[in-house]
Chain A
Amino acid sequence: DADVTQTPRNRITKTGKRIMLECSQTKGHDRMYWYRQDPGLGLRLIYYSFDVKDINKGEISDGYSVSRQAQAKFSLSLESAIPNQTALYFCATSDSGLAGAGNEQFFGPGTRLTVL
């Protein structure tokens, strides 16, 4: 079984709809992240969470919200989807580990979201 799972894997929706993307992990990590990737570009950080009570905005948080329901679950919501939110969305996890360490991140398989 995959360590980091994302649901759904593909979703097509219409402008103005509310969408929730879910991420679950079995790695026991405390840190979780949401990224988006646009065609031909690298990943950009949307939100990250260091534990259930700690949520932080990333580089591009406008138009998105998140919920850390448990250590293993981190959801990303688009309250009112718009076409320029069409992208590939990745969830990732990492262990806080030692301060200054490399902090390897483990990524899920991605969710392809299309907003019409």
Chain B
Amino acid sequence: DAKTTQPNSMESNEEEPVHLPCNHSTISGTDYIHWYRQLPSQGPEYVIHGLTSNVNNRMASLAIAEDRKSSTLILHRATLRDAAVYYCIQSSGGSNYKLTFGKGTLLTVNP
């Protein structure tokens, strides 16, 4: 199974940017990087995904390193509602439907 490495926890202050790192050194050319987050007592929700180029959506930005072995999820202005566990997931080529969730990064946002 494709594996990613994330810090167990990170802390941020409200209204400041947050950069959540992820290493995926085994990534191959057709593997996507997905980010999901899980708010307390809820199911995971999709945040963003990318293949090679940086991606932006209304929730976040995804910066993918040139060698694709790491990526960073960027929350431009953290809010208290962004406190959650963030999962970085590498999906394998033609099996992009198989999401293997690790332990993720617990993000705490301080008021």
Q: Give Cα A45 to B30, complex, Å.
A: 21
Total A-B contacts with CB atoms under 8 angstroms apart: 57
Residues of A within 8 A of B104 (CB): 42
Within 8 A of B (CB), among A74-105: 90, 92, 94, 99-105
Minimum C-beta distance from B8 to chain A (A): 10
Q: Give Cα A100 to B43, complex, Å.
A: 24
Minimum C-beta distance from B9 to chain A (A): 12
* A109 touching B101, Cβ below 8 Å: no
Minimum CB distance partner of B91 in chain A = A103
Query: Which bracket fits the contact residues of B?
Result: 20 to 34
B68 on interface, CB distance cutoff 8 Å? no
* A45 touching B98, Cβ below 8 Å: yes
Interface residues of A (CB under 8 A from B): 4, 31, 35, 40-45, 48, 58-59, 90, 92, 94, 99-110
Residues of A within 8 A of B93 (CB): 100
Query: Closest 5 CB pairs between A and B?
Result: A42-B101, A107-B43, A102-B49, A43-B101, A104-B46
